[in-house]
Amino acid sequence: MKAHIGVDAHTGVVHAITTTSANESDVSQTHKLLHGEEKHVHADAGYQGAGKRPELKDCAAEFVTARRRSTYKKLDKT
């Protein structure tokens, strides 16, 4: 089971929470975590592509999402 939590960045107040089974994607829950007045949405790599989903086409917020670990280049050991 996973918990998806929407939190106000300025106050730290939780404004939305939803739970899913572990086999559901994180990005499929994005629209349930937004209240509609966001200017910026910060999320981990599981939410990549959220801004392109059809249920968020009217969302004007800027999505800032962490990169997946596989996109980082390994450091040289020298």
* pLDDT digit string, tens, across residues 37-75: 889 999 999 899 898 999 998 999 999 988 777 776 766
Mean pLDDT calculated for residue range 1-24: 94
Does residue 22 lie in a domain region?
A: yes
* Residue-wise pLDDT tens digits, 52-62: 999 998 999 99
Backbone angles phi, psi at 46, to 5 degrees: -65, -15
Residue 78: pLDDT band (50, 70, 90) is low
Does residue 13 lie in a domain region?
A: yes
Mean pLDDT of the chain: 89
| pLDDT > 80? residue 16 | yes
DSSP 8-state code for residue 44: -
Does residue 77 lie in a domain region?
A: no
**Euclidean distance between CA atoms 30 and 77, whole angstroms:** 39
User: How many structural domains does the chain have?
Assistant: 1
